[in-house]
Amino acid sequence: MIKIKMLEIDHIKEAQALALRNYNTERGYVPAMPNITAVPDLEWSVKNTKGACAFENGKMVGYLFGWGPRDNVFGCNPHVKGIWSPAHGNAAFGENKIRAYREMYQAVADSWVADGALSHAATLYAHDIAAQKALITYGFGVRCMDAVKFIETREVRYPDGISFSELPRDEAGRITGLNNGLIRHLGKSPCFLNYPERTPDAVQSEADEDDIRYFVAEMRGEIIGYLKLSDDGEHFACGAEDMRNICGAYLLPEHRGKGIYDALLFFTENILAREGFKRLGVDFESFNPTAHGFWRKHFTAYTHSVVRRIDEQAGRAS
């Protein structure tokens, strides 16, 4: 029989053990995931969030907490508050796993809504079918994915008239028009993401402050596509020393279907391989058909983040 308790400081060690077990279970399916020995410390999260844990026969078999509530959920909904349970913010094991997830969520969802959070998100591992089933049947749907691959050294076939290079850091603003093209693309069906367009100064400031690298495809001196690379990503494992992460990409529509972006990816991998990196990650919206089709061709997904939007009337009633 499952017994639900509120998550407390005394549960941290058991929760961290479950989180690491959860990660290593997924790594069994996706060997390109980094080898880690510990998940992030959960003390701050447990002290500052509302969570639940599940016990069976006196043993903890699951836990769930969420960060937030945070204004402007996903950076594109300024009037909506949200809660996010990261990959190390939930786990469950055992024959009653689906029930544990459902009952833990039921135990905390009321307080999340009472705090004004009407968007609930959780990052689950891609091969954890039971966890996904538990939340999808409670109104969640897949929104985005993390994926990873081993970096390979490949022959780059340069399409006619196209050159590739790493953009000097102080020229990051040159990709602003393409970045805004991506933003406009994400605002259309079926994504409907309302991100504000950016200025060259904002793009340059981000590159300087966050050590962003841009790899670009050019035609006659004009940048027609870019790949944005970061030291970190959405998942805690993305910070592994031998891993880099793609956090933005775009190619002008008129140049698609010619092998240009495949070649840009291979060009970037060759540089990273020479620098000693072993893994490359990417995160993308699963409902962006362009991104989903391209990245799944080269990478293996290891997380599925699911989201549920609570009816606004429920928020006002609470």
Whether 283 is covered by a domain: the verdict is no
pLDDT of 245 reads 98
Phi, psi for 155 (deg, rounded to 5):
-75, 130
Contact yes or no for 53/15 (Cβ under 8 A): yes
Report the largest interatomic distance among the alpha carbons of the chain, rounded to a whole angstrom: 69
Structural domain total, the chain: 2
Query: Do 136 and 157 have their domain in common?
Result: no
Query: Do 133 and 174 have their domain in common?
Result: no
Query: Do 21 and 80 have their domain in common?
Result: yes
Question: Any idea what the CATH number is for the domain that residue 222 is in?
Answer: 3.40.630.30
Query: Do 135 and 156 have their domain in common?
Result: no
Query: Do 169 and 196 have their domain in common?
Result: yes
Whether 286 is covered by a domain: the verdict is no
User: Strand runs (DSSP E) across the chain, as ranges?
Assistant: 2-6, 50-56, 59-70, 81-85, 90-92, 117-125, 141-150, 162-166, 213-219, 222-230, 243-251, 279-285, 300-309
pLDDT of 318 reads 45
pLDDT of 76 reads 80
Range of the domain at 107: 2-145+305-317
How buried is 210 (Cβ within 10 angstroms: 0-12 exposed, 13-18 middle, 19+ buried)?
A: exposed
Profile the chain (318 residues) by mean pLDDT over runs of 10 residues.
95 97 98 96 93 96 96 85 96 97 97 94 98 97 97 92 96 98 96 94 97 97 97 95 97 95 97 98 96 96 97 62
Query: Do 8 and 28 have their domain in common?
Result: yes
